[in-house]
Structure 1
Amino acid sequence: MTQTLNKPAKAILFDKDGTLFDFQKTWAPWAAAMIADLARGEKAVLAKAGQAVPQDLDRQIAHTVGFDLDNGAFQADSLAVAGTAYEVAQALSQVITGLSDSEVLDYLMPSKMSMTPVVVPQLKQALEGLKQAGFRLGVVTNDFEHVAREHLEQVNISELFEVVIGCDSGHGAKPAPEGCLAAAAHLAVPAPDTYMVGDSLHDLEAAQRAGMRPIGVLTGTASRDDLAHLAAHVFADVADFVRFLTKSPL
């Protein structure tokens, strides 16, 4: 679906994980530890109740969330790539029987000690270039809003965004378009004058359904071929997109 991007735009919305942050570098180490912790917690509950304990529980959990334990990486079609923590917890309920859904969700909530965001190359410089060029910036993520804000603060870029919307902000989760539309409304920019940049089909579908310009980046788990049919253009990363957009080197 590659098309020209020369029509002026006024706002740019970004997904968070896989777009602002390198997905594998940020989340794979945390996921490996989370899977081990969750398996231990479930086994302890089952053993205490005198129930049979699956010996391959960690692999069952990994399979459910789409994580390759042997290679320490998320698979391209992982539910965790574009889904919400609620959706992951619901899927895990088919494997985890001793813990409640809320207890499983607790395991899926990373702390600052357990997860460190790894930004994509030249991110802050690229975002600052967009601000200087007059673009208004926002984040629309399927993560929780307060978690997203914490992550942006951790890497010192929170001040560059005027709006942050998460899956729990009252607008639903992508691929539903309402979060994107709410962000554009907050920025007072019409949807057709807004780019939505993301690494997953959920991001691009949300952009299309919102009437925005969908831009794909390759810092998640999807390939160029995966994204090309929904994206107006696919770039290597955010910096590559900004170089193209502003016609200036970073």
Structure 2
Amino acid sequence: MTLSALLFDKDGTLFDFARTWNGWSMAMLTELAAGDQARLAAMADAVRYDLSAAAFRADSVVIAGTNEEVAEALLPHLPHMTLSDLEQFLIRTAGEAELAQAVPLAPYLSALRDMGLKLGVMTNDGAHSAQRHLTRSGVYDLFDMVIGADSGFGAKPDPDPLLAFCSNVGVAPEATAMVGDSRHDLIAGRAAGMRTIGVLTGMARAEDLADLADVVLPDIGHIPEWLARA
């Protein structure tokens, strides 16, 4: 079946994960540690962040987890904060992260829309952060629907938020492709009955995604060529 819609993950897919989040995370952890080096090291270990390399390890909860899951990992080291306060801190600071687009998004997404494709975003980040990032990048209005983990449909790897997108835009799951950089993205896509496209602008390697993907591409910029061949 010809594809009629593309549903994108956000971090690691629309935005290069390492170039966007490694620096922000160092600043975030440093601020929370408030000068306590032991606390800084403990928090970094909790979210699998390599302080010496200023980079996430491939098994970090931050890569595909929700803000709540990240906050839960950090909370034992921050007894003066509540889970809600910590989650809101993450949402607020992440909304202002310096974003590294995987490709120039505005012309790329406009071209996909000109092809007649419906476009969406489903991220395990919060809806507020997602809207903020896409608005700052000048592309929010190019999407038919933007879903966060707190939008009321659930989070990946569950298929429910992906199916909510299909229902909202009136496209069958089998005519939709889930595009993502993590196994969570592709597991959700397969469970929803979608085609699956893996990209390598996150932390996963091609071999990490191959068994769940119809195709693994260097970045989203290669999708139009793949669509022309598919």
Band the TM-score falls in, shorter-chain normalisation:
over 0.9
Query: CA offsets per residue over residues 105-164 of structure 1, 9 Å max, x none?
Result: 233124478412211123333222211111110111111112101110101111210100
Q: Is the 8 A contact 1:80 1:88 kept in 2?
A: yes
What count of residue pairs does the alignment treat as equivalent?
Answer: 229
Distance of aligned partners of 1:164 and 1:114 in 2 relative to their CA distance in 1, 3 Å threshold:
closer
3-state DSSP of counterpart to 2:121: strand
- The answer for the alignment partner of 2:19 in structure 1 is 25
**Residue 159 of structure 2 is aligned to residue 177 of structure 1:** yes
Q: Mind listing any 5+ residue stretches in structure 2 that lack a counterpart?
A: none
Q: Is the 8 A contact 2:144 2:169 kept in 1?
A: yes
Residue type of the partner of 2:33?
A
- The answer for the alignment partner of 1:8 in structure 2 is 2
CA distance in 2, matches of 1:142, 1:114: 17
Structure with bigger helix share is 2
* Matches for 1:9-158 after TM superposition, within 5 Å: 9-40=3-34, 55-111=37-93, 114-158=96-140
Query: CA offsets per residue over residues 75-103 of structure 1, 9 Å max, x none?
Result: 11110000001011112223332322123
Structure of higher CA gyration radius: 1
Q: Is the 8 A contact 2:95 2:133 kept in 1?
A: no
CA distance in 1, matches of 2:93, 2:86: 15
CA distance in 2, matches of 1:95, 1:192: 44
Query: CA offsets per residue over residues 179-235 of structure 1, 9 Å max, x none?
Result: 000011111001111000000011001101111111100000000011101111100
CA distance in 2, matches of 1:198, 1:211: 15
3-state DSSP of counterpart to 1:109: helix
3-state DSSP of counterpart to 1:102: helix
3-state DSSP of counterpart to 2:76: coil
Q: Is the 8 A contact 2:125 2:148 kept in 1?
A: yes
Residue type of the partner of 1:29?
G
CA distance in 2, matches of 1:190, 1:100: 41
**What is the TM-score when the length of structure 1 is the normalising length?**
0.87
3-state DSSP of counterpart to 1:107: helix
Distance of aligned partners of 1:60 and 1:110 in 2 relative to their CA distance in 1, 3 Å threshold:
same
CA distance in 2, matches of 1:199, 1:186: 24
3-state DSSP of counterpart to 2:99: coil
3-state DSSP of counterpart to 1:120: coil
CA distance in 2, matches of 1:198, 1:99: 33
Deviates more, 1:198-207 or 1:125-134: 125-134
Q: State the identity as a percent.
A: 43
Q: Is the 8 A contact 2:94 2:129 kept in 1?
A: no
3-state DSSP of counterpart to 2:7: strand
CA distance in 1, matches of 2:226, 2:94: 34
* Matches for 1:101-250 after TM superposition, within 5 Å: 101-111=83-93, 114-246=96-228
Distance of aligned partners of 1:161 and 1:243 in 2 relative to their CA distance in 1, 3 Å threshold:
same
- The answer for the alignment partner of 1:47 in structure 2 is none
CA distance in 1, matches of 2:88, 2:153: 23
Q: Mind listing any 5+ residue stretches in structure 1 that lack a counterpart?
A: 1-6, 44-54
Q: Is the 8 A contact 2:95 2:129 kept in 1?
A: no
